[in-house]
A = this chain, B = another copy of it.
């Protein structure tokens, strides 16, 4: 029987100029939907799981289009609450070469940010669920939503549902201090912690020595220490960290590390030409969840998660549009990109 996952968070309208046009050149915006948690939900549905996404969206058509964007990929949207005033928006300008990508958030006052406790009946939502996932963005949206997150975590724990959290620190949403405090409380209920090369430092002050993320140098040894300290502090079963080396806006190296039961597992490293960088971390998290749920071993898990997210970087939009077979083929070693006829 298919595993059921529940993901909780925001889905935003993403407005991005075509190709490499800058904001001031844009006469139109590609309109898709995405967000750290929605991206995970779509990936899980694409892998064939019974993936439910929980959020709040306004009752108008811009909200409806967000639901449709999830439904088309088979995400279960029946627990999405309708109401509130607006859909959060983010504007994305794609970078190239030495010019970085740029994100402008316009998410204040969104329906989910202003949701209330009564909007969500977690007993009903978690019925039959095997896994609960959220990210550090959700509690950052406001105190109310942070409390709702906490309630969900506790309820999941009670029901024996595995809980994963991607730290996903966003400095536009809250301070490091506030993040550390709130996330510290939530992490007590988390089994699987996911982070990128900066999150642990930003949120919990746990940094990898000798790493400068802007020069493309990553000190792998340092991340072993980060993972261990995270696991030790919160009792995580698994800590997974993405290791991105940014050579330019077009070229990144990409790898990951999984720490579990005292052991460190490093994936292969991929040299990527980037089509769309946004959602890369989310696709890693989704790969990790899927691989864990279907019972892969630790090395397989990290290889699956990294291969899945490597492929994401070749795909337009926030959502990772790949199948289990495609991920396995890459994880299995065929990175030649030869035409499949």
On A, residues with C-beta under 8 Å from B are 15, 19-32, 60-62, 64-65, 68-69, 71-74, 85-87, 89, 91, 93, 95-106, 108-109, 170-172, 213-216, 246-251, 270-275, 277-278, 307, 310-311, 313-317, 321-322, 326, 330, 333-341
A292 to B65, CA, bound (A): 28
Pair B89/A108 contact, Cβ less than 8 Å: no
Known A21-B316, A27-B27, A337-B249: A98·B214 in contact at CB below 8 Å: no
Pair B336/A215 contact, Cβ less than 8 Å: yes
Residue of B nearest to A212 (CB): B336
A244 to B273, CA, bound (A): 19
A–B complex contacts, Cβ < 8 Å, 24 sampled: A15-B31, A23-B64, A24-B73, A24-B321, A25-B317, A26-B65, A29-B29, A61-B93, A61-B102, A61-B104, A71-B74, A89-B89, A96-B273, A97-B275, A97-B337, A98-B311, A98-B314, A99-B337, A100-B340, A102-B339, A103-B341, A172-B341, A249-B314, A250-B337
A108 cross-chain contacts in B, Cβ below 8 A: 85-86, 109
Pair A61/B22 contact, Cβ less than 8 Å: yes
Pair A340/B24 contact, Cβ less than 8 Å: no
- Given contact pairs A25-B321, A97-B337, A100-B338, a sample of 10 additional A-B residue pairs in the complex whose CB atoms are under 8 Å apart: A15-B31, A19-B316, A20-B316, A24-B61, A27-B32, A98-B330, A100-B339, A101-B337, A247-B336, A248-B337
A330 cross-chain contacts in B, Cβ below 8 A: 98-99
Residue of B nearest to A21 (CB): B316
Pair B106/A336 contact, Cβ less than 8 Å: no
Q: Which of A215, A333, A339 has the most CB of B within 10 A?
A: A339
Pair A91/B62 contact, Cβ less than 8 Å: yes
Residue of B nearest to A216 (CB): B336
Residue of B nearest to A24 (CB): B65
**Partner among B27, B32, B105, B317 whose Cβ is within 8 Å of the Cβ of A31:** B27
A138 to B339, CA, bound (A): 20
Pair A340/B72 contact, Cβ less than 8 Å: no
Pair B340/A103 contact, Cβ less than 8 Å: yes
A273 to B171, CA, bound (A): 30
A106 cross-chain contacts in B, Cβ below 8 A: 62, 86-87, 89
Residue of B nearest to A102 (CB): B340
Residue of B nearest to A86 (CB): B106
The 9 closest A-B CB pairs, nearest first, are A249-B337, A72-B72, A23-B61, A246-B336, A99-B314, A96-B314, A68-B72, A214-B336, A97-B273
A307 cross-chain contacts in B, Cβ below 8 A: 98
Known A31-B27, A105-B341, A336-B247: A99·B311 in contact at CB below 8 Å: yes
